[in-house]
Copies of this chain bind each other. A is one copy, B any other.
């Protein structure tokens, strides 16, 4: 069924990639709901109608971008979550990992930050779904940690969501910081570390019920 992906499929994938990349580039300075199909094909250098061979609409392309941007992030989540060591070390390691990802895929990060609350319903839904998966993974990791012994399941999920949100806030802050001076980036990283540390302290002294 899958020898080496015939030259036919290969070319198709290539065009598809080009469309996705061009869209991602254009989305650095606008949002998905204003992105035109023709705009994308023009940037790639193919006829407008070629678009339909790959996506049913721009919204469809948006969903594909979500899966690409967030689907590939699961390994990183697991890496962060399974990192051993002292609390502060873990936080620093996690923020470094996030910063590295932002440097490597800035357009993906910007896209997610922008479209998470953006104007396209299905894309918002796709992002929400992926983030819920992340929160689930983080919660499971938190659950298998002695610190979480007295915790109720509900509170664990709450904390996991807080961590996921912080991850996004940090990523988006880093993105905004690349424009400003070089020192700005370090300031953002330091701030992110301290936010995470404060949350960690809250976690350590948490008392359920209330």
Binding site for B on A (CB under 8 A): 27, 29-34, 88, 110, 113-114, 116-119, 121, 128, 155, 158-159, 161-162, 165, 169, 172, 176, 191, 194-195, 197-206, 210
User: What residues of B have a CB within 8 angstroms of the CB of A114 in the complex?
Assistant: 117-119
Given contacts A31-B31, A33-B33, A169-B165, contact A155 B194 (CB under 8 A): yes
Residues on B with beta carbons closer than 8 Å to the beta carbon of A88: 210
What is the CA–CA distance of A169 and B169 in the complex, to the nearest angstrom? 10
Complex-state Cα separation, A165 to B113, whole angstroms: 14
What number of copies of this chain does the assembly contain? 2
Q: A30 near B195 (CB under 8 angstroms)?
A: no
Cβ of A162 and Cβ of B198 under 8 Å apart? yes
Given contacts A30-B33, A195-B158, A210-B88, contact A172 B117 (CB under 8 A): yes
Contact status B210-A206, CB under 8 Å: no
A-B contact pairs, 29 of them (CB 8 A): A27-B119, A29-B119, A30-B33, A30-B119, A31-B31, A31-B32, A31-B33, A31-B34, A31-B118, A34-B34, A34-B119, A88-B210, A110-B117, A113-B117, A116-B117, A118-B118, A128-B176, A155-B194, A158-B194, A158-B195, A158-B198, A197-B210, A198-B199, A198-B206, A199-B199, A200-B202, A201-B201, A201-B202, A202-B202
